[in-house]
Amino acid sequence: MQIQDLPYPDPGMPDARSGPRFLWWLFRNQLAGQLKSLAWGLLHFASVAALPFCVGVAVQAVVDRSGTGLALAGGLLALACVGNAVGDTFLHRTAITNWITAAARVQQLLARKAAHLGSALTRRVAAGEVVAVSTGDVEKIGWFVEALSRFTAALVTIVLVCVGLLVYQPALGVVVAVGLPALALAVLPLLPRATRRADTQREKAGRATELASDTVAGLRVLRGIGGEELFLDRYRSASQEVRHAAVRSARMWSLISAIQVLLPGLLLIAVVWYGVRLAREGRITVGELVTVYSSVMVLTYPLRHFEEIAMAYSFSRPSAKRAAGVLSLQRPTDTAGSRAADVPSGDLYDPQTGLLAPAGRLTAVVCGDPDAAGLLAERLGGHPSQEGTSVLLGGVPLDELPLDSARTAVLVQDKDPVLLSGTLRGLLDVPASGAVQPDQALAAAQCDDVLAALVQGSLDATDPMDARITERGRSLSGGQRQRLALARSLITDPEALVLDEPTSAVDSHTEARIAQGVRELRDGRTTVVFTSSPLLLDRADRVVFLHDGEAVAVGAHRDLVRSEPRYRAVVTRETDDEAAPNGSVALNDVLHELEEIEEKA
């Protein structure tokens, strides 16, 4: 896999049982790239390690006054330099390729998992953690996967040089062969503490990121209640904790780096002292002494990769653990699409509650518990947050359909829809049947004032479709965001559309017009609206009242207001004390309000 070939046609099924298993899975799936990196790394490090031998041959040729030996040394030196340049160039190329492709694979896996889980993802994992995994953690994972092949090349080179020195000059070779492993292993006792400090730093950074994202998301509300400075102070405190943790972690890694500099220096001193004694005794030549000394000095370069791999693993291990934690999440009910990839049609039925939404009709659902209503809406769309009986569409269990088919058949708009930044044209460019045009959907959702506001707030756009929407639509009011989201849902024209409180932030007169527009535009299509608004309920073909998780009453809105006290209490917001003496008064008020709004609408 090359960078120009990204994205992967299929990133594969990861081993997400643990962080190390996930890293090993990534390494195995990039074996060809890792072998290329290893080969070029061996050429690079071997060429670097050969330089001292060439210098030793040249020094000995000068001592012996041998022109042939000097020419041979020059040729070997030129060959080593060419190998060093070529190896270093292609090692860097393959290493970066491995890094980027590994990171891209993880990002594809995370994106696929997010699409697979849908809204259940943020219910089970904090949004800040998802952001941390898909940004910083991805880079750290790619770093370790890439560094592993370079470390292997450095390790093989060190072993070969030690063996070569033992053969070339046994007396000094023994010192080097014993000293180099000691250098490599000297920092091992410090790694657990360094890893713990790095883990603490990342945990605090993750909490600070989550706090920052939550603060930014709720900034308008915080300013409204005067809580902006309070949350900013909390973020400042969290940021300082991250700084202190980063300093503690940096101290440990700087100590490890200092040891990696100190110990090779001590080894060089030992080699020179012992080598000079051997040279005085005539047991080695000057060229051999120079060769061994230069080899030890040059080997400090591949030895640095021991520190790098330790640092890369300590940083990537918790990152891989977090990524594996997200990738191991599963939908509560998932049969991997045991049925054919067809889009069924017919009645939408939930066996768990007894809710039935007849095909081609507008069904309103009233539930006293908003949280229970939200969970039921997700279940109707095939996004259950817990195990249970599957919802049926035309008698076909949604859980047995391939995920794409289930989501094509049933679309759920939750009570807090998200508007992505970009132009309005891009926002409304969604997979759709083509039967509903954007202007029809915008008209049904009563977006005329929203379009005017977008043009007015834009500097260079005269067409509302070219006007830009800020991140999450924060420049719009809650009601404007709701109406644009409703228009987007209407454009898709799914077989069944589930709307959870689509007009909770809209005034009553606009709400009445939206109810009529949705009814007309969705004529002949199955629509389910979760609401307690009398205006929407009065436009529905049938109303289902849920109590304690069961459908206990079905009928027209006006009939249920008269006959079902529990339904009337939810719709009119009556308390238990008010329900008995004022029931008839509340009923008359509701009916009178409906008549007035119908006349004005």
Residue 198: predicted pLDDT: 80
Give pTM, 2 decimals.
Answer: 0.72
Amino acid at 99: W
Q: CA angle, corner 72, sides to 66 and 74, nearest 5?
A: 105
The Cα 389–Cα 381 span in angstroms is 13
pLDDT tens-digit map of 182-216:
877 777 788 888 878 887 887 788 778 777 776 66
Which residue, 298, 309, 312, 305, is CA-closest to 41? Answer: 305
Which residue, 500, 511, 483, 503, is CA-closest to 593? Answer: 511
The Cα 249–Cα 370 span in angstroms is 46
Q: Which residues of the chain have pLDDT under 50?
A: 580-583, 585
Residue 214: predicted pLDDT: 67
Residue 580: predicted pLDDT: 47
Block residue for tokens 């094509």? 408
Q: Share the mean pLDDT of the chain.
A: 83
Q: Are strands 362-367 and 542-547 parallel, antiparallel or unpaired?
A: parallel
Residue 268: predicted pLDDT: 81
